[in-house]
Amino acid sequence: MAAVRIAFVWFGVRKTLTPEQKSQAADTFGAAGEYVSAAKKLLDTSHPSFKLVTSTRGRILNYWRGLSLPYPEPGIRLIRQDDVAAFNVQMTTLQAELTEAVAELDRRYDDLKQAARRRLGSLYNVTDYPDSLVDLFGVSWDFPAFDPPSYLRQVSPELYEQESRRIRARFEEAVQLAEQAFTEEFSKVVAHLTERLAGQEDGKPKVFRDSAVENLREFFERFRHLNVRSSDELDRLVEQSQQIIRGVEPQQLRDNQPLRQQIATQLSSVQSVLDGMLVDRPRRNILRRAK
């Protein structure tokens, strides 16, 4: 595995009111200004051009998280080394899409400012708005090294070994976090599919989308691709679930009620074991043991 980190530059669309403005707002309710927190919204974030920018950011985050595992340091995740090249290509494409979306937002910027002037009234302040938004949104990524500095081996072998132990402990903690994340994700997709298969509405089987089955299959793919070292129990449950839905298509489950009930019953047994795993191994206990 390798470490991968992404960072965003993002223009803040909310700004705290000045003390005078907060005091004026507090007077409306007969409150003391120092006990009131208030902010103004600089731009309409529901505007299609702004939503395009935020949705692109969401796609970047989803791609990063979907191809990586958690690591116990903010902003860093673990990625397979043989995925690094593909990750870099896809992130370059997404970065270009974000740049294009921001350019479109900037073309609408004057209209957004005029709308803000109308909506904010006396709270509107021209100095809150930069001349352009082009350089105020962006994404970057890098692959930070984890190995302790080589010079430490000569300068202080003891310190070098101490750093090596610390890094090894971090990776062990990352493995535990990955297992917990897989268990939680697995539990959610199994529970959703089971609920759609076993539940009823107005005395009739619930309608479910193909995605209820596909999400579970996508989880199997991610689990096989990213699983560093899970527990034997989790491995067994994943294999059991794969066997349960192997060769089963969504339309079969809609047309064949006995098959639908059979799959729901089998997945329910998997769900009960997963529930026990989540209760027995809460995230806080994993982190405490790692320390």
Long-range contacts of 120-128 (CB under 8 A, 24+ apart): 120/40, 123/17, 123/21, 123/40, 128/15, 128/42
The pLDDT of 254-258, averaged and rounded, is: 88
- At how many degrees (to 10) do helices 210-226 and 232-245 cross? 140
Q: What percent of the chain has pLDDT over 90?
A: 54
Question: Could you give the CA distance from residue 49 to residue 103 in angstroms, rounded to a whole number?
Answer: 9
| Contact (CB, 8 A) for 263 and 197 | yes
Question: Could you give the CA distance from residue 173 to residue 108 in angstroms, rounded to a whole number?
Answer: 46
Among residues 242, 243, 241, the alpha carbon closest in space to that of 271 is found at 241
Question: Could you give the CA distance from residue 270 to residue 234 in angstroms, rounded to a whole number?
Answer: 10
Q: What percent of the chain has pLDDT over 70?
A: 95
CB count within 10 Å of CB 19 equals 10
Examine the pLDDT at 289 and tell me if it is beyond 50: no
Question: Could you give the CA distance from residue 54 to residue 105 in angstroms, rounded to a whole number?
Answer: 11
pLDDT score of 75: 86
Confidence of residue 280 (pLDDT cuts 50, 70, 90): low
For the stretch 111-146, pLDDT in tens is 999 999 999 999 999 999 999 999 999 999 999 988
When mean pLDDT is compared across 47-51, 164-168, 197-201, 211-215, the lowest value belongs to 197-201
| Helix, strand, or coil (residue 69) | strand
pLDDT score of 285: 42
Q: Where are the domains of the chain?
A: 2-142, 151-290
Examine the pLDDT at 154 and tell me if it is beyond 90: no
pLDDT score of 30: 84
For the stretch 53-92, pLDDT in tens is 999 999 999 999 999 999 988 889 999 999 999 999 999 9
Question: Could you give the CA distance from residue 234 to residue 89 in angstroms, rounded to a whole number?
Answer: 33
Confidence of residue 35 (pLDDT cuts 50, 70, 90): confident
Examine the pLDDT at 163 and tell me if it is beyond 70: yes
User: How many CA atoms lie less than 13 Å away from 146 in the CB half-sphere?
Assistant: 19
Among residues 94, 78, 112, the alpha carbon closest in space to that of 8 is found at 94
| Helix, strand, or coil (residue 42) | coil
Among residues 175, 248, 159, the alpha carbon closest in space to that of 212 is found at 248
| Contact (CB, 8 A) for 3 and 76 | yes
Amino acid sitting at position 233: E
Alpha-carbon Rg of the chain, whole angstroms?
Answer: 25
The chain-wide mean pLDDT, for the chain, equals: 88
The pLDDT of 213-225, averaged and rounded, is: 91
